[in-house]
Amino acid sequence: MSGPGSYADALQGRLDGSGLRIAILCARFHEEITGALLERCTTTLEAHGVEGESIRVLRVPGAWELPQAAGRLAGLERYDAIVAIGCVIRGETPHFDFVAGEAARGLTDVSLAYDVPVILGVLTTETEQQALDRARQDGQDKGRELALAALEMGLLFRELT
């Protein structure tokens, strides 16, 4: 379970996303949760100056498919950051461990191979309620945090070129 505080609490100043191009991959599995994360992510990006047409949203079946799609997007060299949204809720089998671990590893591999920030937005929770609490705007608002991380990293990578 997440601890107190939030990534967003540590930010200083305003992140101006004007001119950034952001791709968001969103898993359809656990649609209520991933849809809430996606909505908060896009709303936050737009509130920070990323134009609507500079945000590309693509759907994938589930968290397992996120690294494959992220790799294809990164290879296009069109985006300043890629946000990967998914949700894996623990069940009665070790399937959770395989999907969550490989999704995280695969997204890390993409970010290192293509030199583009890939933001890991795969919720891994014990229960559906924990996931909902993290996804809601009146909860932990992880969708907002994903957008802020994409903005910060996209701007950083531009500065380092």
Question: pLDDT tier at 13 (50, 70, 90 boundaries)?
Answer: low
Please tell me whether 64 is known to bind a ligand.
yes
Assess whether 95 carries a catalytic annotation. yes
Please tell me whether 44 is known to bind a ligand.
no
Q: What is the pTM of this model?
A: 0.92
Question: pLDDT tier at 1 (50, 70, 90 boundaries)?
Answer: very low
Tens digit of pLDDT for each residue in 45-64? Answer: 999 999 999 999 999 999 99
Query: What residues contact residue 92 under an 8 Å CB cut-off, 6+ apart?
Result: none
Tens digit of pLDDT for each residue in 98-111? Answer: 899 999 999 999 99
Tens digit of pLDDT for each residue in 78-91? Answer: 999 999 999 999 98
Structure tokens at 147: 């957008």
Which position among 95, 97, 137, 139 bears the catalytic label? 95
The residue written with tokens 């290879």 in the block is 75
Please tell me whether 122 is known to bind a ligand.
no
Res 97: pLDDT: 87
Res 12: pLDDT: 56
Please tell me whether 63 is known to bind a ligand.
yes
Q: What is the DSSP string of 36-62?
A: HHHHHHHHHHHHTT--GGGEEEEEESS
Beta strands, E only, the chain = 22-27, 55-60, 81-89, 118-125
Domains defined along the chain, listed by start: 18-159 (3.40.50.960)
Res 92: pLDDT: 82
Is 90 exceeded by the pLDDT of residue 9? no
Q: How far apart are CA 71 and CA 110, in angstroms?
A: 5
